Amino acid sequence: MNLTELPFRTLAIVRGRDRDAALRTVLTLAEEGITAAEVSLTTTDALWVIEQARRELGPDALLGAGTVLSVEDAARAADAGAAFLVTPGLVAGLPELPVLMGALTPGEVIAATAHGALAVKLFPALFGGPAYLNALRAPFPDVPFVPVGGIDATAALAYL
């Protein structure tokens, strides 16, 4: 899959201690019309979940790996079938997959885009909320942001 822009408005994050429940969650999200999901590598047997979900959902599903902390994590996730990667912070040297790279400060946004991030994962978003995101948009009008962390249903409406 070759992503050049964000083809989704909502990204579901799946994590947990039960690999079968995590897989069921990914499949249920897809059945219910959520077009993009990431499986956090903190999930028990996350790579197995990604492999099984990829097998079930097919090659075009927007299925990614989250909490990617290293080049090694990224390589294993890609081998398991992840179509994109999500990091909580700056990670250099990732393979040629689309990356949503975590950043909070303007300097980190600059670094994430310099590392080739498809989008910047504003993390943790709860620290600044929608007002902070709006402030970041002034110097970075062309950077797609994906706010993550501490967003409940009420806050999601404000971000959207």
pTM, whole model, 2 decimals? 0.92
27: in domain: yes
| pLDDT tens, position by position, 118-152 | 999 999 998 889 999 999 999 999 999 999 988 88
* Helix %, strand %, coil % of the chain (to 5): 40, 20, 45
Rg (CA), the chain: 15
114: in domain: yes
Task: State the residue range of the domain holding 118.
Answer: 103-160
Q: Which two tokens stand for residue 71?
A: 């080049």
Are 82 and 16 in the same domain?
yes
Indicate if 121 belongs to the active site.
yes
Which among 5, 32, 38, 96 is annotated as catalytic? Answer: 38
Q: How many domains, in total, are found in the chain?
A: 2
Which among 51, 96, 108, 121 is annotated as catalytic? Answer: 121
Q: How far apart are CA 98 and CA 85, in angstroms?
A: 6
Average of pLDDT values for 82-109? 94
92: in domain: no
* Model confidence at 11: pLDDT above 50: yes
Indicate if 56 belongs to the active site.
no
Q: How many residues does the chain have?
A: 160
